[in-house]
């Protein structure tokens, strides 16, 4: 029986472990934290429950297909719920826009808020994203990254679109006149930690796929997905060893021969009995090519406030965005100056709107997320800096008085902060970035880690830092791609 070691029990790690197990491998996972799920985590405090990472699922069929491939019915583990609206958008001038998942309702909202012409332009913009989806779906998302996937006649014809040099913002400018509508389309670049002013137009695929497949939530919280995978691991005999951090390895010229894990007491454990190694992270020095960690184009990080709110806010939806006044300046701050923006766009998710039991009666569980730069300075997020930035965010929210009608601060029962420092230390992500190398240029996109190690024949990479990209469905796909590659390799 062939043996595989999976390092990291994030989504990509667990999916690759399960897929290899289904192929007859003996698989063991080693995870540094004491829970499975990585960035898909959960926080419970004083009767409030929060998802600490993903809050919205698109393409749930990818997850369901994976369960099916294991001979399981996802409905026995998870209950997906389609949301009526993916997000409620707010601007300082009092404009509110509901992004309905139903196309007709959305078109009516577009016409009501932005006028008929912009509503028609919206359809054209979605069609533009559809072209990229159709070209890339099978070749790009479901298999190993290969340039030759595009060297068909159709691929060559379309290759110019991929290398056009146009950004997402150019797409927004091409189709829309209204700056607010442009801002909404541009926001989708942040789904993979990029700037819309830099990220290639290829990413107009994101609004298209979200609208095509709809916004989904999982009953009981997104974290239930991580729990379901952990349960499957148990059913498939995949052992997860918690509190085991990969801290080193030994190799021959072409293969990893020994893995060194350090447990929570600092004791070292050597594991050498394996055929293949899958890593669910790329941050361990030496694992990637030598110059990998010297790169300076990482995706954005996040600054999260978990707020227990003593009140219900009737104007707030499950998913909300409070836009900054100058979107371009915000991204210049994040990606060029590499400083947290003072006029920031704020994402607020409160699952208790859908599931009241996730907060005490008449209260709300607020997950507040702001995009911030990856870490360039160790001291940037000391306690004082964290508290100060949390205050700036709350002040900014309070300026949306037409939504909150009074002080937010007075309604906070508790607040917990999660900064880029925690992203780096808890998840082992490079410089606190959420998605590893950015997708801000074709050049960096090409440099993003592939699923097969360029250094070692028996090493593979799964997860959001690798191909096909970040986000829960893509991490599922990467796990599957990696299991296929590993099992085809001697």
Ligand X SMILES: Cc1cc2nc3c(=O)[nH]c(=O)nc-3n(C[C@H](O)[C@H](O)[C@H](O)COP(=O)(O)OP(=O)(O)OC[C@H]3O[C@@H](n4cnc5c(N)ncnc54)[C@H](O)[C@@H]3O)c2cc1C
Q: Can you give the binding site for ligand X, defined by CB under 6 A?
A: 7-13, 30-33, 38-40, 53-57, 245-246, 280-281, 284, 302, 304, 369, 427-428, 434, 463-464, 470-472, 475
| Rounded least distance, CB 372 to ligand X, Å | 11
In the bound state with ligand X, the residue whose beta carbon lies nearer, of 44 and 409, is: 44
| Rounded least distance, CB 104 to ligand X, Å | 25
Instruction: Copy the structure tokens of residue 484.
Output: 């296929």
| Rounded least distance, CB 173 to ligand X, Å | 26
In the bound state with ligand X, the residue whose beta carbon lies nearer, of 279 and 324, is: 279
Strand runs labelled E in 252-311: 256-263, 268-271, 276-279, 301-309
Instruction: Copy the structure tokens of residue 240.
Output: 């997860």
The upper half-sphere exposure of residue 372, i.e. CA atoms within 13 Å in the direction of its Cβ, equals: 26
Helices 116-136/179-187 angle, 10° precision: 20
In the bound state with ligand X, the residue whose beta carbon lies nearer, of 214 and 470, is: 470
Classify the phi-psi angles of 303: left when phi > 0, otherwise alpha if psi is within -120 to 50, otherwise beta. Answer: beta
| Rounded least distance, CB 114 to ligand X, Å | 25
Pairing relation of β-strands 26-30 and 239-241? parallel
Cα separation values, 356 from 219, 353, 482, Å: 12, 6, 39
Instruction: Name the residue with tokens 């993003």.
Output: 448
In the bound state with ligand X, the residue whose beta carbon lies nearer, of 243 and 360, is: 243
In the bound state with ligand X, the residue whose beta carbon lies nearer, of 31 and 109, is: 31
- List, in sequence order, every residue forming a beta bridge with 88; answer none if it has no partner: 98, 320
In the bound state with ligand X, the residue whose beta carbon lies nearer, of 175 and 418, is: 418
3-state secondary structure of 368: strand
| Rounded least distance, CB 101 to ligand X, Å | 15
3-state secondary structure of 78: coil
3-state secondary structure of 81: strand
Strand runs labelled E in 274-337: 276-279, 301-309, 319-322
Q: What are phi and psi of 146, to 5 degrees?
A: -140, 130
In the bound state with ligand X, the residue whose beta carbon lies nearer, of 243 and 356, is: 243
| Rounded least distance, CB 436 to ligand X, Å | 8
SS3 content of the chain, % helix, strand, coil (to 5): 40, 20, 35
| Rounded least distance, CB 334 to ligand X, Å | 15
In the bound state with ligand X, the residue whose beta carbon lies nearer, of 144 and 170, is: 144
- Give the separation between CA 315 and CA 400, rounded to whole angstroms: 11
| Rounded least distance, CB 198 to ligand X, Å | 20
In the bound state with ligand X, the residue whose beta carbon lies nearer, of 110 and 226, is: 226
In the bound state with ligand X, the residue whose beta carbon lies nearer, of 308 and 428, is: 428
In the bound state with ligand X, the residue whose beta carbon lies nearer, of 80 and 427, is: 427
| Rounded least distance, CB 153 to ligand X, Å | 34
| Rounded least distance, CB 270 to ligand X, Å | 14
Cis peptide before 51 (omega within 30 of 0): no
Q: Are 3 and 274 in contact (CB under 8 A)?
A: yes
- Give the separation between CA 474 and CA 11, rounded to whole angstroms: 10
Contacts of 38 (CB under 8 A, 6+ apart): 8, 9, 10, 11, 13, 53, 226, 280, 427, 463
Rg of the chain over all Cα atoms, to the nearest angstrom: 22
| Rounded least distance, CB 156 to ligand X, Å | 31
Cα separation values, 64 from 22, 96, 133, 320, Å: 16, 34, 20, 27
Instruction: Copy the structure tokens of residue 244.
Output: 């085991």
Q: Are 415 and 306 in contact (CB under 8 A)?
A: yes
| Rounded least distance, CB 348 to ligand X, Å | 13
Contacts of 151 (CB under 8 A, 6+ apart): none
In the bound state with ligand X, the residue whose beta carbon lies nearer, of 2 and 230, is: 230
């Amino acid at each position: 029986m062939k043996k595989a070691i999976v390092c990291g029990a994030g989504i990509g790690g667990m999916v690759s472990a399960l897929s290899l197990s289904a192929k007859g491998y003996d698989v063991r996972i080693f995870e540094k934290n004491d829970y499975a799920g990585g960035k898909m985590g959960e926080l419970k405090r004083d009767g409030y429950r929060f998802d600490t990472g993903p809050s919205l699922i698109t393409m749930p069929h990818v997850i369901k297909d994976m369960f099916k491939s294991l001979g399981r019915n996802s409905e026995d583990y998870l209950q997906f719920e389609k949301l009526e609206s993916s997000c409620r958008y707010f601007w300082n001038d009092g404009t509110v826009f509901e992004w309905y998942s139903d196309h007709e309702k959305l078109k009516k909202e577009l016409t009501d808020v932005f006028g008929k012409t912009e509503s028609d332009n919206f359809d054209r913009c979605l069609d533009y994203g559809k072209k990229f989806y159709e070209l890339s779906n099978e070749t790009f998302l479901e298999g190993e990254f290969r340039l030759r996937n595009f060297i068909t006649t159709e691929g060559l014809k379309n290759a110019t679109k991929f290398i056009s040099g146009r950004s997402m913002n150019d797409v927004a400018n091409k189709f829309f006149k209204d700056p607010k509508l442009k801002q909404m389309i541009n926001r989708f670049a942040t789904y993979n930690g990029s700037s819309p002013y830099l990220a290639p137009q290829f990413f107009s695929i994101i609004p298209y796929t979200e609208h095509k497949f709809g916004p989904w939530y999982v009953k009981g919280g997104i974290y239930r997905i991580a729990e379901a995978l952990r349960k499957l691991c148990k059913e498939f005999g995949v052992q997860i060893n918690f509190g085991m951090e990969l801290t080193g390895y030994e190799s021959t010229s072409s293969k990893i021969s020994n893995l060194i894990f350090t447990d929570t007491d600092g004791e070292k454990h050597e594991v050498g009995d394996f055929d293949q190694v899958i890593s669910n992270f790329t941050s361990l020095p030496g694992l990637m090519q030598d110059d990998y960690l010297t790169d300076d184009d990482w995706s954005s990080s996040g600054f999260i406030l978990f707020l227990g709110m003593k009140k219900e806010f009737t104007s707030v939806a499950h998913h909300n965005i409070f836009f900054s006044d100058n979107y371009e300046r915000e991204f210049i701050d994040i990606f060029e100056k590499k400083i947290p923006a003072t006029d920031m766009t704020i994402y607020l998710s409160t699952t208790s709107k859908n599931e009241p039991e996730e907060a005490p009666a008449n209260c709300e569980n607020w997950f507040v997320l702001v995009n911030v730069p990856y870490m360039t300075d160790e001291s940037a997020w000391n306690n004082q800096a964290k508290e100060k930035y949390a205050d700036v965010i709350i002040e900014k929210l309070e300026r949306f008085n037409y939504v909150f009608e009074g002080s937010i601060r007075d309604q906070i029962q508790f607040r917990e902060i999660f900064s880029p420092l925690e992203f780096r230390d808890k998840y082992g992500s490079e410089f606190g970035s959420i998605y590893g190398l950015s997708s801000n240029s074709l050049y960096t996109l090409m440099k993003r880690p592939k699923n097969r190690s360029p250094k070692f024949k028996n090493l593979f990479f799964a997860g959001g830092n690798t191909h096909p990209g970040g986000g829960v469905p893509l991490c599922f796909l990467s796990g599957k791609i990696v299991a296929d590659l590993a099992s085809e390799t001697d």
